[in-house]
């Protein structure tokens, strides 16, 4: 399509309108998103409901497409309304203008994470309804808040509500990521996230004295052990080309605090590590190893778990999962190369899976730089429209399982 044709395309216009809503952290106002989604539901002649699992500032929007057999477990197609902050000076386009350049690229925060899949779901439903298709199973399209800061005011609490229970869900789809080549990633599991703060106490005193048992010595020991662990994962990834980013444990030092004056040995130093733990790691064993290091460092170290997610079993991607078989068959009929992986990051799928509901993360974007949370985030308009074609096939298949 030419640029003029793309600008006049109804689906592209809807998408760009959504992108122009600055639902950006911190202090997100979701009201414009909710009003936009209400209009979309009305255009599809589908009912919409707004649920508040925590407070009225964090709504969950549910658009319902009732199935022919509504007693069957339903499908949920999830995305999140919120987006991460931007540094406008680092962008070549206004991050909330949804500019379409001469190459057909749409620039905006949320083009890959994840406003695109939300409106692609709706575009696919528009196509299916126009064909007279009605799903066997009820389909919910959900738009949740707060995902970019952990989902604690959104999906994490929503899955514990009676409303969620009464939806009787049997399968979920949510965000994935773009790929750099012709293939498409599909995520069937996520690593376990831990945020560890080491509060390291030691002997304080004058900076001119070689005091024993200082916080600095213990700090050095802990950092070295954690970095050795990190190095082992880097080497593992380098040795085996079959491994994906999500198959190893990431260890990153993210915060360092301490000290009061440059000639005073501090009584306390703190260091924070972000761990995303591979699904085959023994979590109890890892925690014991870290606590042993604290003792080996000389004691006096308080280990604080600022985030300690529990292990969530992966979704089956084999013949035991009929939804996977339907998804796989649909993508094969579209000649898509699908690559099942463990998701390197965290999504709301982990909360869905924790309730025993199978979930796949899938964003039908390929041959595109992975720009989630990056400057100049974009998606090609033709890729966006192709994604609607993909979801049209996939939604029909999984909803008729």
Residues with a known catalytic role: 82, 147
DSSP 204: -
DSSP 147: G
Contact 77, 143 (CB under 8 A): no
CB atoms within 10 A of CB 285: 9
DSSP 247: G
Residue for token pair 């013949």: 319
Contact 52, 59 (CB under 8 A): yes
Residue for token pair 């298709």: 133
User: How far from each other are the two terminal CA atoms of the chain, in whole angstroms?
Assistant: 35
Query: Exposed e or buried b for every residue in 190-215, given b needs 16+ CB within 10 A?
Result: bbbbbbbbbbbbbbeeeeeeebeebb
Helix (H) or strand (E) holding 156: helix 155-158
CB atoms within 10 A of CB 387: 25
Contact 86, 75 (CB under 8 A): no
* Alpha-carbon dihedral 160, 162, 167, 168, rounded to 10 degrees: 80
């Amino acid at each position: 399509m030419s640029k003029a044709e793309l600008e006049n395309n109804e689906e592209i216009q809807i998408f760009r309108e959504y992108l122009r809503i600055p639902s950006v952290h911190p202090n997100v106002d979701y009201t414009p998103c909710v009003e936009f989604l209400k209009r979309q539901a009305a255009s599809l002649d589908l009912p919409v409901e707004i649920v508040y699992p925590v407070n009225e500032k964090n709504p969950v929007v549910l658009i319902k497409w009732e199935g022919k057999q509504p007693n069957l477990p339903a499908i949920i197609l999830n995305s999140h309304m919120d987006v991460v902050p931007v540094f406008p000076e680092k962008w070549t386009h206004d991050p909330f203008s949804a500019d379409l350049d001469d190459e057909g690229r749409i620039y905006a925060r949320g083009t890959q994470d994840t406003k695109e899949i939300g409106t692609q779901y709706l575009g696919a439903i528009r196509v299916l309804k126009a064909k007279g298709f009605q799903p066997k199973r009820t389909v919910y399209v959900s738009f949740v808040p707060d995902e970019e800061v952990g989902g604690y005011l959104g999906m994490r609490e929503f899955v514990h509500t009676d409303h969620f229970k009464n939806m009787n869900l049997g399968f979920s789809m949510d965000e994935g990521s773009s790929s750099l080549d012709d293939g498409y990633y599909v995520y069937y599991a996520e690593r376990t996230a831990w945020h560890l703060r080491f509060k390291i106490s030691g002997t304080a005193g004058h900076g001119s004295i070689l005091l024993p048992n200082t916080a600095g010595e213990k700090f050095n020991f802990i950092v070295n052990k954690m970095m050795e662990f990190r190095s082992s994962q880097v080497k593992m990834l380098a040795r085996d080309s079959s491994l994906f980013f999500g198959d190893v444990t990431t260890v990153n030092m993210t915060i360092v605090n301490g000290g009061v004056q440059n000639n005073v040995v501090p009584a306390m130093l703190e260091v924070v590590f972000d761990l995303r733990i591979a699904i085959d790691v023994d979590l109890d064993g890892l925690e014991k190893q870290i606590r042993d290091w604290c003792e080996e460092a000389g004691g006096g170290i308080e280990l604080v778990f600022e985030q300690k997610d529990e292990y969530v079993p992966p979704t089956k991607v084999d013949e035991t999962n009929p939804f996977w078989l339907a998804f796989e068959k649909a993508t094969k009929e579209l000649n898509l190369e699908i690559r099942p992986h463990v998701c390197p990051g965290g999504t709301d799928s982990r909360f869905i899976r924790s309730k025993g509901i199978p979930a796949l993360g899938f964003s039908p974007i390929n041959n595109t730089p992975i720009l989630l949370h990056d400057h100049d985030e974009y998606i090609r308009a033709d890729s966006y429209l192709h994604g609607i074609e993909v979801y049209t096939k996939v939604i029909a298949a999984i909803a008729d399982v």
